[in-house]
Amino acid sequence: MKGRGFMSEDTEQFNSQERWDAFFMSIALVTSLKSKDLNTKVGAVLVDGDNHIVGTGYNGFPKGVDDEQLPSGREGVWLDTKYPYVVHAELNCILNSIVSVKGCTLYCTLYPCNECAKAIIQTGIRRVVYLLDKHHDDDSYVASRRLFDMVGTELCQMNKEAVSGFLRMCELRPYL
């Protein structure tokens, strides 16, 4: 059997940007696996104009905080839930970046909330590629879309089938 490298020849069905988007979204999905959140695992990857990764992040508690010391539940009194303590994947990605993120593209597995949208806009990220939009009608996400629209941030929802197809085309078995 003739070796075909990392990708199969079927990648020609994607244009270059679609291929890069699927590649980086795949990395965001793998990054989400680092999250210890029992309910929602979110990953994010920041990429510069040369398609170099400049940051990664996942949802979790701040650095140095013992995961066992804080609540992980979603219901009850707000201070007794995870929500006031978790840093979202998008913000972690920005904070973990190794260079300025101005002009970068953010790949995230879940559409950003309004708080993350503000950080994305303030840091000059020009494009957001997301996979899921499961909170589309919640106020926080409506506000997020309004903010992105006001400043002209490019938004692109990835097709799940495109990401799945990309992953199927990867030939990692010879390396495992």
Strand order in the sheet with 105-110: 53-58, 43-47, 105-110, 127-132, 154-157
Mean pLDDT of the chain: 87
pLDDT, tens only, 98-147: 999 999 999 999 999 999 999 999 999 999 999 999 999 999 999 999 99
Contact 43, 29 (CB under 8 A): yes
Q: Could you report the per-residue pLDDT of 16-28, keeping only the tens digit for each?
A: 888 899 999 999 9
pLDDT for the residue 38: 84
- CA 31, CA 25: separation in Å to the nearest integer? 10
Per residue in 39-65, pLDDT (tens digit) is 899 999 999 999 999 999 999 999 999
d(CA 146, CA 121): 12
Asked about 90 being catalytic, the answer comes back as yes
Q: What is the pLDDT of residues 135-162, one digit of tens each?
A: 999 999 999 999 999 999 999 999 888 7
Catalytic position from the list 90, 115, 161, 171: 90
Following CA atoms 23, 90, 29, 161 in sequence, which dihedral angle do they give, to the nearest 10 degrees?
A: -70
Amino acid present at 126: R
Amino acid letter for position 64: G
Task: Return the sign of the alpha-carbon dihedral for residues 104, 111, 132, 92.
Answer: positive
Token pair belonging to 77 = 């009194």
Dihedral angle at the C-alpha atoms of 30, 94, 39, 166, nearest 10 degrees?
-30
Give 83's contacts (C-beta < 8 A, 6+ positions apart).
Answer: 74
